[in-house]
Structure 1
Amino acid sequence: MSEKKIIIFTGSSLSIEEASQILKADYRPPVKRNDILKAINESPDIIGIIDGVFHQSPAVGHKEIMKAMEKGIILVGGASMGALRASELDSLGMKGIGYVYNEYSKRNIESDDDVALTFDAATGEPYSEALVNIDYKLKKAVESNIINEEEKNEIIDVAKSIYYPNRTYYNILKKSKLDEYKKVKLIDFIVTIVNIKKQDAVDVLEYIKEIK
């Protein structure tokens, strides 16, 4: 049996270096408009979309993903742009994986702002934090009695008020009404919780590994 050709678009959720340790594939930077059309010409068996650009240049289009699926290419998405597009196109055959995909599917989140962040174009290292990740970690903090539900909602409102490139825990907590003791306790807790976008990215690769 010949080796299947797999193309994966990733970056800020999971670095190409980390991803390549999980699955052998043709790894490319975050997907943008027309990248899928170009990939179709290479006749891949599977395309995985993890990360994509939102505001830096036009985002990957629905029609190009649909065209890939019409050609018989398996499309799998999760974590970030992949989760958003999978939630919009799952009824047409795109496979969605993970927590972020499920949040979009349930309409708990609806905007690309929920997964948007800024990152180093060369390394993929994030400069800011995605709102979906902040919300996930704060939910865990409530479950662990670090903060209460009211405090969580206040912090989320602050996070939403900050333009996504500046959305860091430092900037959020600086504007939050949380007392200093709880801020320190919360930060100490947050660093122990998994980055849910990264976990979803790993799950996308593990899923593709199973079906390839």
Structure 2
Amino acid sequence: MVKIIIYCGLSVPYDEAKEILDSHDDVEVIYKRPIKRGDLGVDMKENPDIIGIIDGVFHQNSSVGHKELLKVIDSGVTVVGASSMGALRASELDTLGMIGIGYVYEQYATGKVASDDDVAVMLDSETLESLSEPLINMDYVFTNAVKENIISQSQKDELIQIAKSTFYPKRNYAQTLAKSDLDDDTKTRLIDFIRTSPDIKKEDGKELLRYIADMVK
């Protein structure tokens, strides 16, 4: 029996995660809330073989520490990270055995993104619903909007500057566009583009789940 612990619920809701990776005769999957410091010390009592970290807390509680993760890795557990806290920690520990997956991980690993503020969001502690928009998602969408000639590079730079200067719990598309100098027609086209754009943190989380599912086939 392979035992897996997945920390998620924000970037990827539990029901959607279970559609990709769920328990069966040879695999037991345990889904946990976003990881915080100290969780691994308790959850290792479950004797997991694989740990997948998608979501974690940043400011509400102390974040999961590097030493905690290294202790788990050194014990022989496979630790995979993506999307949010998982991507951040994987970029810091990938040379020490943690596996990183996806776009957000690559952004951190290559140094294009450095701050944990880029993936931080305000969340409803009860429902785990995101109450703000992560900067990494906004940058991904605006970059693609430039490629599609919806906005110019200079317009993207303005939008990102507005978003970066906004405290992360209040960061969203509506207030960013409202503070910009974009004309109404451009705003309308960009809003339509945003509505049809993927949530890159969610997509990365799903990629992690598929990666682990392939590991235990």
Q: TM-score, normalised by structure 2?
A: 0.95
Shift in Å, 1:21: 1.2
Matched, 1:156 2:160: yes
Counterpart residue identity of residue 30, structure 2 = D
Q: Give yes or no for contact 1:6–1:44 (8 Å, CA) kept in 2.
A: yes
The equivalent residue for 1:16 is 14
The equivalent residue for 1:62 is 66
Counterpart residue identity of residue 196, structure 1 = I
The equivalent residue for 1:208 is 212
- List aligned pairs for 1:120-199, cutoff 5 A: 120-199=124-203
Shift in Å, 1:37: 1.6
The equivalent residue for 2:103 is 99
- List aligned pairs for 1:11-90, cutoff 5 A: 11-24=9-22, 25-90=29-94
Counterpart residue identity of residue 100, structure 2 = G
**Mind listing any 5+ residue stretches in structure 1 that lack a counterpart?**
none
Q: Per the alignment, in what secondary structure is the counterpart of residue 46 of structure 2? A: coil
Shift in Å, 1:152: 0.3
The answer to which of 10-19 and 150-159 deviates more is 10-19
- Measured in 2, the distance between the counterparts of 1:161 and 1:199 equals 26
Shift in Å, 1:121: 1.9
- Measured in 1, the distance between the counterparts of 2:124 and 2:4 equals 25
The equivalent residue for 2:26 is none
Shift in Å, 1:39: 1.6
- Measured in 2, the distance between the counterparts of 1:179 and 1:57 equals 41
**Mind listing any 5+ residue stretches in structure 2 that lack a counterpart?**
23-28
The equivalent residue for 1:4 is 2
Shift in Å, 1:40: 1.6
- Measured in 2, the distance between the counterparts of 1:46 and 1:113 equals 27
1:83-129 deviation per Cα after TM superposition (whole angstroms, max 9, x unaligned): 00000000000000000000000000001000000122222221110
Identity %: 51
Shift in Å, 1:185: 1.0
- Measured in 2, the distance between the counterparts of 1:19 and 1:121 equals 19
Q: Per the alignment, in what secondary structure is the counterpart of residue 2 of structure 2? A: coil
Shift in Å, 1:145: 0.5
Counterpart residue identity of residue 50, structure 1 = I
Shift in Å, 1:58: 0.2
1:108-165 deviation per Cα after TM superposition (whole angstroms, max 9, x unaligned): 0001000000122222221110000000000110011100100000000000010000
Moved over 6 A (4+): none
Shift in Å, 1:11: 1.8
Q: Give yes or no for contact 1:119–1:126 (8 Å, CA) kept in 2.
A: yes
Q: Give yes or no for contact 1:15–1:123 (8 Å, CA) kept in 2.
A: no
Give the aligned length: 210
Matched, 1:116 2:127: no
Q: TM-score, normalised by structure 1?
A: 0.97
- Measured in 1, the distance between the counterparts of 2:187 and 2:69 equals 43
Q: Give yes or no for contact 1:130–1:167 (8 Å, CA) kept in 2.
A: yes
